């Protein structure tokens, strides 16, 4: 006879946050699952976009990690549906993709609360991103009313995600820099990437990185101050 394992948590601690991994490839799912070992999360897997959608609506996760290429409903459509529904609109999403299509990536960046990681992703990088989103350790400062126990952890993890807003890089920011010229050569600078950061996600800052195609000098443009400075000095 099989002995049933007791699944009760050690104390009357709240349940671990759910992290949903969506990928059609079982090796990839195992790899991502492995990267989450150090995090205190309950990992759930989905094998295609439809499965991921069903699981998200059944039990909205504290975080979704998805690929863009998924059977039935691709990662882009999945993100769009989740963002439109009030139940899942605030779920932080990490998209792992090999796509470099700027239009597709811009579509993702406009949805908000989406971190795009290039594929293949190093598992340390994924773990770091998950930790930065705040799914690993819960703050102890907010007591929860017992009647709210089933709902409270989710909303608490979301507010944690907002508080732990970190800088991230994107090649497809929601706001592109204005047309900027090299002070030396007077030719238009070429945009390479943006860094989004700031104190909270409600008050983000954006720095763009550009280079001169003629003299190859590199520049940084800060949106808040509209200042362009060379990063090659010194
Ligand atoms: Zn130049």
pLDDT digits (tens, 9 = 90+) for 206-216: 888 999 999 99
Asked if pLDDT for residue 83 goes beyond 50, the answer is yes
Instruction: Say how many Å lie between the CA of residue 182 and the centre of ligand 1.
Output: 5
Rounded CA-CA distance 34/220 in Å is: 37
**Is the pLDDT confidence value at 184 over 60?**
yes
Burial class (CB in 10 A: 0-12, 13-18, 19+), 97: buried
Predicted confidence at residue 51, as pLDDT, reads: 92
Which helix (H) or strand (E) segment is 107 a member of? helix 102-111
State residue 210 phi and psi, 5-degree precision.
-135, 160
Q: Whole-prediction pTM value?
A: 0.54
Select the more confidently predicted residue: 14 or 214: 214
Ligand 1 centroid – CA 194 distance (Å): 20
pLDDT digits (tens, 9 = 90+) for 92-101: 999 998 887 7
Taking the C-alpha atoms of residue 78 and residue 80, their distance in angstroms, rounded to an integer, is 5
Distance 37 CA to ligand 1 centre (A): 48
| Confidence at 19, pLDDT banded by 50, 70, 90 | very high
The pLDDT, as a whole number, for residue 230 is 93
145 or 67, higher pLDDT: 67
Ligand 1 centroid vs 192 CA: distance in angstroms? 15
Ligand 1 centre to CA of 217 (Å) is 6
Q: What is the pLDDT of residue 70?
A: 93
Report which of residues 26 and 202 the model is more confident about: 26
Share of the chain above pLDDT 90, in %: 33
User: Over the stretch 115-135, which tens digit does the pLDDT of each residue have?
Assistant: 888 888 888 888 888 887 765
- For residue 189, the CA-to-ligand 1 centroid distance in Å is 8
In this model, does residue 153 exceed pLDDT 50?
A: no
Classify residue 114 by burial, with Cβ atoms within 10 Å: 0-12, 13-18, 19+: buried
């Amino acid at each position: 006879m099989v002995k049933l394992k007791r699944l009760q948590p050690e104390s009357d601690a709240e349940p671990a946050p759910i992290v949903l991994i969506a990928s059609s490839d079982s090796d990839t799912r195992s790899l991502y699952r492995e990267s989450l070992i150090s995090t205190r999360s309950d990992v759930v897997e989905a094998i295609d976009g439809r499965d991921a959608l069903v699981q998200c609506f059944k039990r909205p996760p504290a975080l979704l990690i998805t690929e863009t290429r998924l059977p039935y409903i691709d990662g882009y459509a999945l993100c769009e549906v989740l963002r439109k529904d009030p139940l899942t609109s605030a779920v932080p999403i990490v998209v792992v993709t090999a796509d470099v299509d700027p239009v597709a990536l811009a579509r993702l960046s406009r949805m908000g609360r989406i971190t795009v990681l290039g594929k293949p992703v190093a598992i340390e990088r994924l773990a770091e991103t998950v930790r930065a989103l705040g799914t690993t350790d819960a703050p102890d400062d907010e007591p929860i009313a017992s009647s709210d126990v089933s709902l409270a952890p989710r909303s608490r993890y979301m507010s944690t995600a907002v508080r732990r807003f970190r800088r991230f890089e994107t090649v497809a920011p929601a706001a592109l820099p204005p047309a900027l010229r090299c002070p030396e050569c007077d030719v238009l600078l070429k945009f390479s990437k943006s860094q989004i950061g700031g104190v909270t996600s409600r008050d983000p800052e954006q720095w763009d990185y550009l280079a001169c195609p003629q003299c190859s000098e590199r520049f940084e443009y800060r949106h808040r101050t509209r200042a362009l400075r060379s990063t090659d000095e010194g």
